[in-house]
Amino acid sequence: MKYLVKDTQLRTIIFEMLNSNDYFILEDDGDYYFFESEYSWRNRGYALMAYSQNTKQLYINYELLSEFRGYFPMSINDAELTIALWVESKLGIEINFIING
């Protein structure tokens, strides 16, 4: 069975999923780092996403993108843009550039 889902409906579903992850967000002088959990941060885990206030740049970990694309059939660019829109709405900031790695 196939379903047609509008872009706005898909974005709502994706935002709900990202909100449910309950990331540990560390703010450092206007920069933000998203960790899987506080435990991950305390044990020197890597940030899944990082935002730089100076460059308005968002870094998205490639593993997060791959996991994300496993749930939703979209291109890497669409996944990056959707995640960036969520980060913008979550933090009330503007993102000008997205990188992954």
| Percent of the chain topping pLDDT 90 | 61
How much is the pLDDT for 48?
Answer: 95
> pLDDT grade, residue 8 (50/70/90)?
confident
Report residue 30 CA to chain centroid gap.
Answer: 17
Q: What is the largest CA-CA distance in the chain?
A: 49
Structural domain spans, the chain = 7-100
**Residues 31, 57 contacting (CB under 8 angstroms):** no
Report residue 18 CA to chain centroid gap.
Answer: 7
Averaged pLDDT, 3-20: 83
Segment 18-63, tens digit of pLDDT: 999 889 999 999 999 999 999 999 998 889 999 999 999 999 999 8
How much is the pLDDT for 28?
Answer: 94
**Residues 99, 60 contacting (CB under 8 angstroms):** yes
> pLDDT grade, residue 12 (50/70/90)?
confident
